[in-house]
Amino acid sequence: MSGDSPAWVNLHELADAAGPKLSAQAAAYFNGGAGDEHTLAANPADWQRLHLWPRTLAPLDGSHTRTMIGPNAVAHPIWLAPVAYQQLAHPEGEVATAMAAAAQSAGMVLSSQSSVAVEDVANAMRTVADPAGDVAPLWFQLYWQPDRALTLNLIQRAEAAGCSALVLTVDAPVHGVRDCERRAGFSLPAGVRAVHLPHGVAQASTLAPLLQAAPTWHDLNWLREHTRLPIWLKGVLHPADAALARTAGMDGLIVSNHGGRTLDTCVSTAWALPRVADAVQGELPLLVDGGIRRGTDVLKAVALGAQGVLIGRPQVHALACGGALGVARMIRLLRDELAVAMALCGCSDLRHANRDLLA
């Protein structure tokens, strides 16, 4: 973060720079996708393939990146996605990430497989005031547990720690076919673990128990009854599922394919987003993630109906490269790119962005 010529000037270079900082196993875990990684590749490619319309001579004075994400007024729409086991990237793990999020006014969704306790993460966010003195939202991501008591315990810890929403991830009832992890023989090193989960709760090695325990639409009622927090579903791609989520009284959706880590050759999120947006007709707020690497990608996501975006892998790349400062710089860079993209598209307020921005 000195005045020197920077080590990386965009998120691709950041990914490259992270390479040497990660063990082969951690790199396989963080970077890999399912199967032949078609979806992993399609996610960024499909954002880039969309064409923006530059607009000229529009009034730009007073332009800003402020917007709403669900009920939260935020300084900009760039959030951090839940990414497990961040101590694999940096000893401070999710605490460092949270400090960066707070400093850059970025909302953060903490993984239920966090390697640091939610209470510590929440504290870290609170101690770092953003320039305006606001504290960015912290949400808690939930994987449905075979044991309801355990699920309930997670919810209550998240509520107590001050998380302002729950994110139920629904696109990973089973582990994706992640060949690079299998090839690397990935396993967690000593000292890194999912601190919210009991020691024994490792992923089952056969499918049947997982399938039996997988949550269904029906289970959402129980969840709704056991928390006062808004509930978002993460991993919805099919418009019909989006409609069901609305009926089920959910508070928001994260259009996601888990960063291409679960079902290979599934649709990209850039492709699915406008279809989901059409299905929910603005009655359910949407976030989207998967392959967002440029400010132009953020603007396109908003133009297609998302209120904001989540950033996955670049988060851990930045953490590996520079700890909290690295993550902060990554968020700032994206936000600056977004502001430039808005100006060149004649867009002074994201809340007016729509499909007319796209050619």
Ligand X SMILES: Cc1cc2nc3c(=O)[nH]c(=O)nc-3n(C[C@H](O)[C@H](O)[C@H](O)COP(=O)(O)O)c2cc1C
Cβ at position 78, least distance to ligand X in Å: 11
Q: Which of 90, 196, 258, 317 is catalytic?
A: 258
Answer for which of 65, 113, 145, 151 binds ligand X (CB under 6 A) is: 113
Residue 173, contacted partner among ligand X, a second copy, none, CB below 5-8 A by kind: a second copy
Cβ at position 13, least distance to a second copy in Å: 8
Q: How far apart are CA 63 and CA 352, in angstroms?
A: 12
Neighbouring-strand partners of residue 253: 233, 286
Radius of gyration of the chain, Cα coordinates, nearest whole angstrom: 19
String of contacts with ligand X for each residue 125-164, x by CB under 6 A: ----------------x-----------------------
Q: CB–CB of 69/354 below 8 Å?
A: no
Residue 55, contacted partner among a second copy, ligand X, none, CB below 5-8 A by kind: a second copy
Answer for which of 14, 18, 27, 30 binds ligand X (CB under 6 A) is: 30
Residues 6+ apart with CB under 8 A from 331: 78, 80, 100, 101, 104, 106, 311
Find the binding residues for ligand X in span 281-340 (CB under 6 A). Answer: 289-292, 311-313
CB nearer to a second copy: pick between 94 and 264: 264
Residue 35, contacted partner among a second copy, ligand X, none, CB below 5-8 A by kind: a second copy
Return the H-helix or E-strand segment holding 166.
strand 166-169
CB nearer to ligand X: pick between 81 and 272: 81
CB nearer to a second copy: pick between 95 and 310: 310
Phi, psi of 185 (to 5 degrees): 60, 45
Residue 67 binds ligand X, judged by CB under 6 A = no
Question: If 0-12 CB within 10 Å is exposed, 13-18 middle and 19+ buried, where does residue 262 land?
Answer: buried
Q: CB–CB of 26/180 below 8 Å?
A: no
Residue 39 binds ligand X, judged by CB under 6 A = no
Q: Cα 168 from chain centroid?
A: 12
Residues 6+ apart with CB under 8 A from 88: 22, 23, 26, 29, 30, 115, 188, 189, 192, 316
Q: Cα 242 from chain centroid?
A: 18
Q: How far apart are CA 322 and CA 316, in angstroms?
A: 10
CB nearer to a second copy: pick between 194 and 266: 266
196 is catalytic: no
- In 3D space, the residue among 213, 215, 214 whose CA is nearest the CA of residue 223 turns out to be 215
- In 3D space, the residue among 29, 301, 11 whose CA is nearest the CA of residue 188 turns out to be 29
Q: CB–CB of 286/306 below 8 Å?
A: yes
Residue 262 binds ligand X, judged by CB under 6 A = no
Q: Which stretch binds ligand X (CB under 6 A): 15-23, 81-89, 221-229, 331-339?
A: 81-89
Q: Which stretch binds ligand X (CB under 6 A): 157-165, 241-249, 254-262, 351-359?
A: 254-262
CB nearer to ligand X: pick between 134 and 172: 172
Residue 203, contacted partner among ligand X, a second copy, none, CB below 5-8 A by kind: none
Question: If 0-12 CB within 10 Å is exposed, 13-18 middle and 19+ buried, where does residue 105 land?
Answer: buried
Residue 84 binds ligand X, judged by CB under 6 A = yes
Find the binding residues for ligand X in span 234-253 (CB under 6 A). Answer: 234
Answer for which of 77, 82, 215, 322 binds ligand X (CB under 6 A) is: 82
CB nearer to a second copy: pick between 94 and 241: 241
Q: For ligand X, how many residues bind (rule: CB under 6 A)?
A: 23
CB nearer to a second copy: pick between 125 and 303: 303
Residues within the interface to ligand X (CB under 6 A): 29-30, 43, 81-84, 111, 113, 141, 169, 234, 256, 258-259, 261, 289-292, 311-313
**Which sequence positions are flagged as catalytic?**
258
